[in-house]
Structures are given as C-alpha cells and as structure tokens.
C-alpha cells in the first residue's frame, strides 16, 4: 500500500527545517537545496508542496508567528477571564515577557524573528509578511494596555498609540541587546526593565500622560 503523506504535516516539517537552517546560517543560508537536505527530502519533494522558494520562506515565517501566538494566547485568555482581574498586572507582565529571550525557546525565536525582519529590509518578497508580524505584535500590545485602562490599573489618559510604540521599541531593543550580550543583559535584567517600565505606566500622572 502506498504511504499516505499529510500535505500540511509535510509543509510544516519543511518549515521547521527552514527555521533550523536560518538559526544556524541566517536567511541567506536557507537555500532550497539546504532546506531540502535539512528536511531529509529531495528538492523535487519540497517543490511538490511549495510553489517556489519564496513560498517556503513565507510559510516558515507564518509558522514562527503561530508558534509564538500559541504561547501568548494562553496568557491572553487568562487576562480576559473576569475572575483573574486581581492578577491582571502580573498576568500582563508574563504575557509581555513572552516576547523577551528569557529561556532557550524564546531566545531561538528572538534570533529567528530578527533574522527574518532584517532580511525583509532588502528582500521585498518577505517585507509584507515581516511587517504583518510586527503589526500583529503591536495590536496585541495595544489590547494589553487598553485592558489595563478598562480595569483601572492604568491611567485613562495614556496615549495608547504612543505607549504601544514605546513598549514595542522597548521589547525589540531589549531582545536585540540580550541576543548580542547574553552575559550582560540577563533574564533577570530583562524582567527588571520590563517591570520598571510597567510600573512607570501604572504611576504616571495625567500631566505626564499628556
């Protein structure tokens, strides 16, 4: 009997191979040949499931985004639970911490995220998808901040658009520094800076918020 192959499972296996190659060699090293070899497939088999190399890379980016989203969504669901209102501040910090390289998993995701977004600056086929990844994160940050306002834990006067951009820049900058200097910018330091930033939001006066 011929072996039945799940097309989606095969596409995901190829995407995981892309991520492993990008982790080692960067986006430039993720040629179709290298990806096929990493996945243990012939190039013809990869082409059977993807139209071209661009589609392989874009699908891998989507899989990376979905991986992060699944983890973040668990925190988001807890924050939306009315019974968890008392833990909203701690829950918000934990959700935001998912975007920082606090362990091996998040460090790898941070490296991959930066590799793709950096490559997108010179590869127009990747740019819309990299922009979508960043926009999706900012949308989530806005929801977290708005939830804080609605619960009364953040001042109603906060400029959500400005604070979303500021928080996004903070998370991105911290990630970049931690990936470059992990011995200096430790997980404890990352958490400390994030916590301090959130505390400044909680204690800002209406004058400061304006």
CA dist 172 to 88, 113, 208, Å?
23, 10, 24
* pLDDT, position 209: 45
What lies within 8 Å, CB to CB, of 147 at 6+ separation is 79, 80, 88, 92
Does residue 10 contact residue 49 with C-beta atoms inside 8 Å?
yes
* pLDDT, position 3: 61
* pLDDT, position 6: 85
Does residue 101 contact residue 194 with C-beta atoms inside 8 Å?
no
Domains, the chain, ordered by start: 53-209 (1.10.357.10)
Q: What is the mean pLDDT of residues 18-44?
A: 96
Q: Which is it for the CA torsion 34, 39, 44, 50, positive or negative? A: negative
Residue-wise pLDDT tens digits, 140-159: 999 889 988 888 888 999 99
């Amino acid at each position: 009997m011929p072996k039945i192959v799940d097309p989606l499972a095969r596409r995901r296996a190829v995407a995981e191979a892309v991520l492993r190659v990008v982790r080692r060699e960067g986006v430039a090293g993720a040629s179709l040949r290298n990806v096929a070899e990493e996945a243990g497939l012939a190039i013809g088999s990869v082409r059977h499931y993807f139209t071209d190399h661009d589609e392989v890379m874009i699908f891998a980016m989507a899989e990376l985004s979905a991986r992060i989203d699944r983890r973040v969504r668990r925190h988001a669901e807890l924050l939306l639970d009315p019974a968890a209102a008392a833990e909203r501040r701690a829950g918000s910090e934990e959700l935001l911490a998912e975007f920082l390289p606090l362990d091996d998993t998040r460090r790898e995701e941070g490296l991959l995220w930066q590799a793709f977004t950096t490559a997108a600056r010179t590869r127009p086929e990747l740019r819309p998808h990299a922009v979508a990844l960043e926009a999706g994160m900012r949308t989530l940050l806005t929801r977290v901040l708005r939830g804080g306002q609605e619960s009364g834990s953040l001042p109603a006067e906060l400029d959500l658009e400005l604070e979303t951009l500021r928080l996004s820049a903070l998370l991105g900058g911290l990630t970049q520094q931690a990936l470059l200097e992990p011995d200096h910018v430790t997980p404890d330091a990352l958490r400390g800076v994030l916590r301090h930033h959130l505390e400044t939001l909680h204690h800002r006066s209406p004058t400061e918020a304006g």
